[in-house]
Structure 1
């Protein structure tokens, strides 16, 4: 009996390790929401709201705008603010829509201070500037405003005609220069009523699909209607029109404002969406596959932490296995019991959370920075004046570089990284004195060491992931 029990425990442990190694959700080591993903050439670009709040602050403040990019859809990074020259403590950037390319220029539709603005850049990752706008945007001047509302997301049909979709199920044609709506504004008819945001449209095999959200918080969900005639309808509602809602068994809550995309040269489709995270503006981005039935309707999307993995076959360097390493820190933020917050009228939703409260437990231990999961992180106690995180490899190794994915990277970090053979005598490997906005921060040419220590000088004192290479 003892042997059977031991084997069951071993099998469970194996499954847990395997699951951990194969989980690609959350997609990004950061708090993000309202994602869109566009592929240009061999690179995927992710545009999103940078969340930097908590359960209490809700939507009062967002981080600086950045563009995450990846060649393989697994390893993501960004460098610098994509919209410089603006005080993003004074202005709020969120819900960037599909980025469009025309004549070598890249056009970004994004909500700034509660209206949809249009900006342009020479590169998909910026730097962007507002169309016809001042060099430094001010809240009193909005000449680049496209829609006097939020969540504007464009769609360009095969004939080149542009359309714009925004919250409360509004839609219209776009002018030829994409700077303003043209003609009649319609309200797209759907089966489910109530507040709706985060709309977008795709086209596949001659069918237009309009996606819209219902609810919010942990009972956020997405429905759709379809048309074979035009982006503005008429639309029909399929039998199973709500394709994405919380899966409590998989611990995926509130799949909300998102986007669907297909890698170039394929008919594979993926749905990327915000997930509840720890509530308020501490959300994260997930991605799961989206499949179609023979008649063109969409199958309910199977949500999970597994995600989709690599979408391009590339030879990438693999980080060291740190399962036997020991991480310690100057302090650890208290664990949190996060309750699944409900939206308003349950009659306006197809899916409703159970009556009894639902909770999710979050810890912020030093070891969470080396667990290969973008869901967990080490986070220091508020008020910690030392703010260090340390790694003991157990033996001296010849090390090449360390990638550090800090918490709230869009606000920037300064830090010092030290190494040691004995844990007593330390040598500085890298000193980042000025606050830099990027992720990951790289510490290169480390050399021989058993211990590594990171002291955070400025920025949020926490690490999503620390990836070490030899």
Structure 2
């Protein structure tokens, strides 16, 4: 694995056209792209663990933006667990979505032990009038707590939210480690509109990403038919299924036992975001975000993602 990481680093240093990883001055993970007007915004986790660490250290969430897919503006850490009075611990995967001119940033972290929760992973939501903040806690409490889901017996199953607003205005949130959970959200994006439901796609582990394209609903996720994680996916005729397993689209990432997909269409092309551990001194707890083109077959199925150091071309 060390040799593989070194080779990847050498390729990055020697290739004049190399783009991946796209951010090289800070370790980033769990990419969540959002297009608003003419700009693509990228919301990320932030790894700060030491080289010898055996666990995550993730203090806050960053935002980057681009209008050409090559040059990325760093807006800095715009949200942290300190924003949420009920939260404690690390800032795990998150996604920001826009609705009615407001930006809702759904985050996963841990809940303090108090009168409302016995602790464990939880999901919160911050809100802003702009994609780059300032963001504040939208409801002053967690949207999802560990007590609300009981199918998994470990305390970190309520992580990695992905939120999607369908064409009819109905919003859905999917999340979960060990099993995939989903729920409808009310129009205010801060309340549940229905009961939480649970299922488990084939090989599912965590990190779901939900979207719709040409009438087909896609659910990508980090799976592991064999470890480390790979990206696998299902398709469905509606946002709630029934889901049909379609297979693996991204193999293991260099020097990282996790992966996390993010998909977006921008300026006429489809892009696939993920993370690896390819930067010098990088690894499973010091990850970096990359981008590749995403291609579909005529029937809507996704072609295999080719991981490269080149990345994608600049667009006007």
TM-score scaled by length of structure 1: 0.54
Q: Which residue of 1 aligns with 2:16?
A: 21
Distance in 2, matches of 1:217 and 1:69, equals 34
Task: Specify whether residues 18 and 27 from structure 1 end up closer, same or farther in structure 2 by C-alpha distance, changes over 3 A only.
Answer: closer
- The structure 1 residue matched to 2:250, chosen from 198, 221, 244, is 244
1:197 aligns with 2:206: yes
CA offset digits 1:322-356 (Å, max 9, x no partner): xxxxxxxxxxxxxxxxxxxxxxxxxxxxxxxxxxx
1:231 aligns with 2:239: yes
Q: Which residue of 2 aligns with 1:104?
A: 101
Q: Which residue of 2 aligns with 1:115?
A: 122
CA offset digits 1:45-65 (Å, max 9, x no partner): 111111011354344421332
Distance in 1, matches of 2:35 and 2:108, equals 21
Distance in 1, matches of 2:128 and 2:275, equals 26
How far did residue 218 of structure 1 move?
7.4
Contact 2:171 2:187 in 1 (8 A): yes
Farther off after superposition, 252-261 or 114-123: 252-261
Q: Which residue of 1 aligns with 2:143?
A: 145
Distance in 1, matches of 2:61 and 2:256, equals 25
* 3-state secondary structure, aligned to 1:86: helix
Q: Which residue of 1 aligns with 2:135?
A: 128
Distance in 1, matches of 2:186 and 2:83, equals 30
Contact 1:275 1:283 in 2 (8 A): yes
Distance in 2, matches of 1:275 and 1:171, equals 27
Distance in 2, matches of 1:255 and 1:274, equals 8
Distance in 2, matches of 1:96 and 1:144, equals 14
1:171 aligns with 2:182: yes
How far did residue 90 of structure 1 move?
6.1
1:39 aligns with 2:35: yes
Contact 1:170 1:185 in 2 (8 A): yes
Contact 1:223 1:244 in 2 (8 A): yes
Distance in 2, matches of 1:237 and 1:180, equals 30
Distance in 2, matches of 1:156 and 1:246, equals 30
How far did residue 158 of structure 1 move?
0.4
Distance in 2, matches of 1:84 and 1:166, equals 20
* 3-state secondary structure, aligned to 2:207: coil
CA offset digits 1:146-167 (Å, max 9, x no partner): 4542111111110000101001
Structure 1 unpaired stretches of 5+: 1-15, 134-142, 314-470
What is the CA RMSD across the aligned residues, in angstroms? 2.8
Task: Specify whether residues 123 and 18 from structure 1 end up closer, same or farther in structure 2 by C-alpha distance, changes over 3 A only.
Answer: same
How far did residue 237 of structure 1 move?
2.1
Aligned length: 277
1:86 aligns with 2:82: yes
* 3-state secondary structure, aligned to 1:65: strand
Q: Which residue of 1 aligns with 2:4?
A: none
Structure 2 unpaired stretches of 5+: 1-10, 111-120, 147-157
Contact 1:54 1:280 in 2 (8 A): no
CA offset digits 1:60-88 (Å, max 9, x no partner): 42133221122222121224431379389
* 3-state secondary structure, aligned to 1:260: strand
Q: Which residue of 2 aligns with 1:371?
A: none
Q: Which residue of 2 aligns with 1:380?
A: none
Contact 1:221 1:245 in 2 (8 A): yes
Contact 2:88 2:109 in 1 (8 A): no
Contact 1:39 1:45 in 2 (8 A): yes
How far did residue 176 of structure 1 move?
2.6
Contact 1:117 1:145 in 2 (8 A): yes
Distance in 2, matches of 1:90 and 1:192, equals 30
Task: Specify whether residues 60 and 190 from structure 1 end up closer, same or farther in structure 2 by C-alpha distance, changes over 3 A only.
Answer: closer
Using CA pairs under 8 Å that are at least 6 residues apart, name the structure with larger relative contact order, 1 or 2: 2
